[in-house]
Amino acid sequence: MGHIPKKLFVALRRPIDVVIKPEKTKVKVLPAFVVPANSTNFVRSANGWRRQHIYGSREQSEGTSFTINNDPISGLRVVGLSRRSGGGRAYKVICPPNHLVDLREDVLLDAIYNTGIDVGGKIKGEFVWSVNGSQMRLIRVGSLEHAELSTCEDLKGLKRISMKDLKVGSIYRGITGPPQLFLGPVSTIFIKATWTYTGGGLATTRTISSLESYKKKTMLWYTIYGNRTKTEEIVGSFDGYVNRAFDNSTDKYYGKPQILAGHSMRKEIGSIEIPDDIVYTIRDIKRNEVMLYIQANANHRYNSEDSILCLNSPIMNMVPYGMDPVDQMMREYERILDM
């Protein structure tokens, strides 16, 4: 996950001419490299970029640089298109007063859809600079990406919520990742297998040579994946999973239950009513789902029933915290552990 820096270091090269359309007039602009001012590595790269060898001589142009606040800017104007290796493209835009910078294609498309663009490439809306991994990019103020990064900035100032303060049915956000729905503390049995391989090529087979099993207090969460981040999306996904998952088509709900030993949640963003027996409901859904899969793939040479059971053991053997999971362990796991 990226962030929105508060201060920017702007490196400039010597001026060049660009053509403004449809007027077809030339204007002088300064190619700019914008980076977060508090990053030593970014600033070093920007300072290296602004030094240019002057064609036909041994002289070098140093360029200039300065530091500014990362305030919203408006009045961007498209003046060209740069094609990158691997099929990527970035539009060249003039950023007031006269700085030439890149604007990513997806950001331009977002602006066209939401704020519009006038004749001559004049983009409506306000933009700020953001950090995305090792890249700097302009993003539209009010876009989904801007909202996500702004939320992350707010969350950085909050402490991680203590495990004892987590509430069943509450939806939480952390600094990274999608929101998650807390379904309660659980006790469960983890089963890990060590495998031995015999034969070779297509005739290779594997068998369990040893097992490691242990009980542990953990947490049950429901997590959505992809770019869905709204509270109503995780609620809708969870409702779909619980009420229709027994038809063995859980992929349509773009979410899944997870057993986690720790968390990084910082803020509660919503809540829903959760049935008292939700742990057993989720456990039975997973048991049904896994056993149907095993039956459907029983004759496939690369599928191992024991391997799938070991992989899914945390959810398939869980019980509400305070109870002993051994008392409700599936017979299939008793068979594995007795080997």
More confident residue, 216 or 185: 185
Q: Is the peptide bond before 72 cis (omega within 30 degrees of 0)?
A: no
Instruction: Give the pLDDT confidence score for residue 296 in this predicted structure.
Output: 83
| C-beta of residue 202 within 8 angstroms of C-beta of residue 338 | no
Residue 245 has pLDDT above 90, yes or no: no
Share of the chain above pLDDT 90, in %: 51
Query: Which ranges constitute the DSSP H helices of 115-210?
Result: 144-155
Q: What is the arithmetic mean of pLDDT over 245-270?
A: 76
CA atoms within 13 A on the CB side of 228: 16
Question: Strand, helix or coil at 22?
Answer: coil
Q: Is 27 exposed, middle or buried (0-12, 13-18, 19+ CB in 10 A)?
A: middle
Instruction: Give the pLDDT confidence score for residue 249 in this predicted structure.
Output: 47
161-170 confidence digits (pLDDT tens): 999 999 999 9
Of 65-74, 234-243, 251-260, the least confident: 251-260
Question: Strand, helix or coil at 214?
Answer: strand
More confident residue, 297 or 76: 76
Residue 322 has pLDDT above 80, yes or no: yes
Instruction: Give the pLDDT confidence score for residue 295 in this predicted structure.
Output: 85
Does the pTM exceed 0.85? no
264-316 confidence digits (pLDDT tens): 899 998 999 999 999 999 999 999 999 988 888 776 655 577 788 888 999 99
Instruction: Give the pLDDT confidence score for residue 246 in this predicted structure.
Output: 47
Instruction: Give the pLDDT confidence score for residue 330 in this predicted structure.
Output: 86
Of 138-147, 254-263, 279-288, 297-306, the least confident: 297-306
Report how far residue 76's alpha carbon sits from residue 127's, in angstroms, rounded to the nearest whole number. 9
Pair type for strands 122-123 and 127-132: unpaired
Q: Which of 239, 194, 188 is nearest to 217 (CA)?
A: 188
Instruction: Give the pLDDT confidence score for residue 250 in this predicted structure.
Output: 44
Report how far residue 202's alpha carbon sits from residue 233's, in angstroms, rounded to the nearest whole number. 44
Q: What is the arithmetic mean of pLDDT over 187-216?
A: 73
Q: Which of 96, 100, 3 is nearest to 50 (CA)?
A: 100
Q: Is 210 exposed, middle or buried (0-12, 13-18, 19+ CB in 10 A)?
A: exposed
More confident residue, 40 or 55: 40
Number of residues assigned to the chain? 339
